[in-house]
Amino acid sequence: MAWRGCYRLELQLRRCLGRKQAWGRRGITSCIDPSVGLTEEQKEFQRVAFDFAAKELAPHMAEWDEKEIFPVETLRKASQLGFGGIYVRPDVGGSGLSRLDTSIIFEALSTGCVSTTAYISIHNMCAWMIDTFGSEEQRHKFCPSLCSMEKLASYCLTEPGSGSDAASLLTSAKRKGDTYVLNGSKAFISGGGDTDLYVVMCRTGGPGAKGISCLVLEKGIPGLSFGKKERKVGWNSQPTRAVILEDCAVPVANRLGEEGQGFHIAMRGLNGGRVNIASCSLGAAHACVLLARDHLSVRKQFGEPLASSQYLQFRLAEMATQLVAARLMVRNAAQALQEDREDAVALCSMAKLFATDECFAICNQALQMHGGYGYLKDYAVQQFVRDIRVHQILEGTNEVMRMIVARSLLQA
């Protein structure tokens, strides 16, 4: 099968790596230039990520989606550029970059494949949680192989009966000497069954958030198994399965932080995860604006290019405006998170809410501009639509994001 849309996307990305000749020309490309306001060092990170997206992700994204391939070797190539532990400290193999740097990188990578980049973002979140809340022994045991992506990680919070109400989780961890014995299950786990480490939130105490602890489980231990591979609308380059725990014994030495600190650790991870997933949405929207612009220029109806229609010009302008506004909000949240500001949680929620909603609307409008062609799997625009739809659900639904923002306002 000829993946024509992804071939076009690869060519488009090669023209949009942040080089002077791409961003310097007049028109819509320059007005949505994602390098505006960045330092020279950040522009270099961005250029490397755009280059990797164009050469290693975009040419394969349709095949990975169609055949549901988890591209482990490509992930390890990404780790050679420092993308396996972007905001993990350097002494355990991380790149030690800021949250803003991370957002810039994930936005660029997602122009090539949202699904694969989103998994990289989840892996990075797990590595950061171990780096931040783990002991020195845990950091040096787990982080080097995560940063090299020799080992891959999964984040395990959601359960069949506790999604948005995460503090009601039921997976139990009963302490017996130097081990915890876990029973329960986790749902919708990205990488489940194919990854090597599982950062699991479980109940070691009473009900509510204060009874939750965080354990790191290694694949292969007795009692750890997985459900069937889920069939999804998008995100098909990463497997999703239930994680099943049946009398699963885990050393107490694998607990991150203290007993009862697990929910705090999980939420700290998700604050960054929300910025990361919003950044992935930005990349998809950026790619779709370019694809829509090019389609309008070449497609003719009623004897004229679609680009001559003022209505479509206005819609394209709205898409570009939404994209730039979302990018500014995400980068502001990333900076607040890096500075550990008091308003960081609310700003991360705002950014996730606004960027994932607006970027989905951009991608969906780009599909509409393609007409019937946009609905064909030969064209990349439909995959961007399918892949980013879930961003409005995961890392906290956008309804929960509204609750967090409202609570912040009302408690001020």
Q: Which long-range contacts (CB under 8 A, 24 or more apart) does 319-323 make?
A: 319/285, 319/288, 319/289, 319/292, 319/362, 319/365, 319/366, 320/28, 320/31, 320/32, 320/289, 322/285, 322/358, 322/359, 322/361, 322/362, 323/32, 323/282, 323/285, 323/286, 323/289, 323/358, 323/359, 323/362
Q: Tokens 């984040």 appear where?
A: 155
Contacts of residue 168, defined as CB under 8 A and 6 or more positions apart, other chains included, come to 161, 162, 207
Residues 399, 353: contact at Cβ < 8 Å?
A: no
The token duo for 66 is 């169609």
Note if 107 is an active site residue.
Answer: no
Angle at CA of residue 55, ends 43 and 279, nearest 5°: 50
Phi first, then psi: give them for residue 169, nearest 5 degrees.
-55, 150
The token duo for 286 is 């950026």
Residues 332, 324: contact at Cβ < 8 Å?
A: no
The token duo for 52 is 């990797």
- CA nearest to 281, candidates 101, 38, 111: 111
**Among residues 44, 73, 395, 399, which one is catalytic?**
395
Phi first, then psi: give them for residue 106, nearest 5 degrees.
-65, -35
Please tell me the distance from the alpha carbon of residue 11 to that of residue 189, in angstroms, as a whole number: 33
- CA nearest to 21, candidates 8, 30, 10: 30
Amino acid in the structure at residue 168: S
Amino acid in the structure at residue 53: A
Three-state secondary structure readout of 309-332: CHHHHHHHHHHHHHHHHHHHHHHH
Could you give the 3-state DSSP secondary structure of residue 171? Answer: coil
Could you give the 3-state DSSP secondary structure of residue 285? Answer: helix
Please tell me the distance from the alpha carbon of residue 291 to that of residue 9, in angstroms, as a whole number: 7
DSSP of 68-93: T---HHHHHHHHTTTTTSTTS-GGGT
Residues 10, 302: contact at Cβ < 8 Å?
A: no
Q: So which residues are the catalytic ones?
A: 395
